[in-house]
Amino acid sequence: MQKVLVTGGCGYIGSHTIVDLIDNGFDVISIDNLSNSDEKALEGIQQITGKLVRNYQVDLCDLEKTRAVFAENPGIVGIIHFAALKSVEESVFQPLRYFHNNNESLVNVLGCAQEFGVGSVIFSSSCSVYGNATELPVTEATPFQEAECPYARTKQMGEKIIEDFCKVTETVRAISLRYFNPAGAHESALIGESPRTKASNLVPVITETAIGKRASMTVFGSDYDTRDGSCVRDYIHVMDLAAAHTSCLSYLLSGKYTSPSEIFNVGIGDGVTVLEAIHAFEKVTDQRLNYTIGPRRAGDVVAIYANRDKAERLLGWKPVRGIEEIMRSAWAWQTAVRG
């Protein structure tokens, strides 16, 4: 089996992607320093797939320890790089921490890919690179606007680092996946979104409120220029997103790429407001949420959703789950595992 390294493999998207990789015949190892994740995710992966995945608890900003993982695991054919700090709000108040962690770790991963002959790298980018986009839906050609937070700026910078690196190396080819708002959980309810720090993404905030872990939740902003005044996002089921990474890896390994570094949007392709997401949850679970309307939150863009035509055309990928399945699976995970 071909060996793949997943950084941040114990995290939310990383753990679901490992399941999809194993289901498609890949052998997987993980690097995760567990700063915002838990190795219990590996137990869930093992129950789902029957495979025990080894995790190296290494900080990717430590180059020598990162190199040691590569040296111990010859023959890696691809890297899927998720590991990063990701809180929009936190990044506003800790910009240097985000610039150091997210960009230094990427540089080290790329350097190791070149040194150890790993030809395929997939970078976890984000729709936040678009800022407050001047056109909707955004395409891969939509120009960047000013980043609304340091987290988003690290993703803009990360894409440019990859682009410049791949221009001058003949051995590494890369894809930056600009994904939108991952949500939901594996259908088994054995893995899901469970950050070690306080959840800030909408869907786990909804489920934690519904189950009573939070007394109430806040909708940030009611005066945006949208259908109901709340922000618009493109929510994609985490298993659809996981499948996109496997499709990208297969695309690179097959040699179908047309340039040293490529970019793909991965989203459902439709916008849902925060209030619409809340109502979808209430509909499929028959739970009523205690929420209030609050002021806007620093770092939030008004609206963003994807044009995913390129991914469907070149990767043969498209999502198969919608907002109601996202909410249904997230609630099953919350009640069965995190209740």
- Residues 74-120: tens digit of each pLDDT: 999 999 999 999 988 899 999 999 999 999 999 999 999 999 999 99
Look at residues 73, 98, 55 and name the one whose alpha carbon lies nearest to residue 1: 73
> Is the distance from CB of 93 to CB of 86 less than 8 angstroms?
no
> Which burial class, exposed, middle or buried, applies to 215 when counting CB atoms under 10 A from its CB (0-12, 13-18, 19+)?
exposed
Alpha-carbon Rg for the chain in angstroms: 19
Task: Give tens-digit pLDDT for 157-214.
Answer: 999 999 999 999 989 999 999 999 999 999 999 999 976 767 778 999 999 999 999 9
Measure CA 36 to chain center: 14
The answer on pLDDT for 339 being more than 80 is no
Residue 226: partners with Cβ closer than 8 Å, 6 or more residues away: 232, 273, 302, 303
> Which burial class, exposed, middle or buried, applies to 107 when counting CB atoms under 10 A from its CB (0-12, 13-18, 19+)?
middle
In a domain, 105, yes or no: yes
Domain CATH code at residue 36: 3.40.50.720
> Is the distance from CB of 4 to CB of 76 less than 8 angstroms?
yes
If you average pLDDT over residues 40-68, what whole number do you get? 98
Q: Please state the φ and ψ torsions of residue 145, each to the nearest 5 degrees.
A: -105, 175
In a domain, 328, yes or no: no
> Which burial class, exposed, middle or buried, applies to 297 when counting CB atoms under 10 A from its CB (0-12, 13-18, 19+)?
middle
Task: Give tens-digit pLDDT for 223-250.
Answer: 999 999 999 999 999 999 999 999 999 9
Token readout for 102 is 């997210």
In a domain, 288, yes or no: no
Share of the chain above pLDDT 70, in %: 99
| Residue 128 lies in domain | 3-183+236-267+306-320
In a domain, 285, yes or no: no
Residue 7: partners with Cβ closer than 8 Å, 6 or more residues away: 14, 30, 31, 32, 60, 79, 80, 81, 82, 83, 105, 109
The answer on pLDDT for 257 being more than 80 is yes
> Is the distance from CB of 162 to CB of 110 less than 8 angstroms?
yes
Q: What is the pLDDT of residue 62?
A: 98
Domain count for the chain: 1
Q: What is the pLDDT of residue 300?
A: 87
Instruction: Please give the positions annotated as active site.
Output: 151
Q: What is the pLDDT of residue 338?
A: 56
Distance CA 184, CA 328 (A): 8
Distance CA 237, CA 150 (A): 25
Mean pLDDT of all residues in the chain? 95
Is 0.85 surpassed by the pTM of this model? yes
Q: What is the pLDDT of residue 44?
A: 96
